[in-house]
Structure 1
């Protein structure tokens, strides 16, 4: 089946230009239906199974900043990487010192990539990032030196696994 409508609603101008340069405009039109404005249960399970993800934010200067976002470990224990509010919202912890640039990007757009290196699977989630009060998660209290972040999902989609290096744990 060929999808014939445009891609303006899904892809920003830079993405459309890249599609044009690489000659994949028709493929992009076909793939736009796989980009959802919310998470499926399977996507949430995939995200929840990861020990870390990669996050990119646009700083107030306009520069992009990317980093690894790991699970938070404290003397009281390890926190899950994510807490899900609903299909369009999830939360994670940011260290006030280590993640200062990430915190500076709050109030803007962010993109997260979750990769399962053993299976060669990758999921991309784009949305709006904010620092929120702990009260959004009833009974939750951020560990000392951390702030609770919230991402409101705008796009969720699987990425092509072609460039993922498959990794396996070394045999003992």
Structure 2
């Protein structure tokens, strides 16, 4: 697949995979057989281009998530995104689901390297991993990211956001709980 280059518009997006996956995934499934036998129906039933109500509720409830981005040449970067708190100490949401096909999360001032934003600027593909270590649950969202201004609406939710990332969902799915360590707050 050719990766779109540009400012991260959803209009420049190319569907991530065929229903069965890209050639590398297909080759690995043949090389390392599994007890799981994926077909067009089972994969499209699992990897949906929308956020179900349950999945939306799950990802909005979490205090953090991870993102993966890459530059125009495919050099990867992974980042942690955690919620902030308001002046009273109340937690702000880590992200908001806008509708079944999109979500938004804030970008706060950090170390000034702009690894994630810089990558999104030249390659809009984003992977998101959501983990609940207490209940041993995880989910993934893959999509097309776009950097947007911190409008009044964004600042009403995240007062110190310098920008926000709008994600158009391409794939959303729960993931098995295998090997997720149980971690509970102390």
- Pick the TM interval, shorter chain: 0.7 to 0.9
Aligned 1:10-159 pairs, distance under 5 A: 10-24=20-34, 27-29=37-39, 31-32=42-43, 33-73=45-85, 75=87, 78-98=91-111, 100-106=114-120, 107-135=123-151, 139-141=153-155, 143-144=159-160, 146-159=162-175
Structure 1 gaps of 5+ residues are 1-6
Partner residue of 1:167? 183
CA contact (8 A) 1:54 1:68 kept: yes
* Higher-RCO chain (CA-CA 8 Å, sequence separation at least 6): 2
Q: 1:61 to 1:124 in 2, by over 3 A?
A: same
- Measure how far apart 1:17 and its partner are: 2.3
After TM superposition, the structure 1 stretch with the greater mean CA deviation from structure 2, 106-115 or 19-28, is 19-28
- Measure how far apart 1:26 and its partner are: 6.0
**Equivalent-residue separation in structure 2 for 1:76 and 1:169 (angstroms):** 22
In the superposition, the TM-score normalised over structure 2's length comes to 0.76
Q: 1:17 to 1:73 in 2, by over 3 A?
A: farther
Give aligned pairs, total.
Answer: 162
Deviations 1:148-171 (A, max 9, x none): 11111000111111110111233x
Structure 2 gaps of 5+ residues are 1-16
- Measure how far apart 1:75 and its partner are: 4.7
Task: Specify the SS of the correspondent of 1:36.
Answer: coil
**Equivalent-residue separation in structure 2 for 1:101 and 1:73 (angstroms):** 24
Task: Specify the SS of the correspondent of 1:105.
Answer: helix
Deviations 1:64-98 (A, max 9, x none): 11111111346576431112221111000112434
In the superposition, the TM-score normalised over structure 1's length comes to 0.82
**Equivalent-residue separation in structure 1 for 2:159 and 2:101 (angstroms):** 24
**Equivalent-residue separation in structure 2 for 1:54 and 1:22 (angstroms):** 27
Alpha carbon RMSD of aligned pairs, Å?
2.4
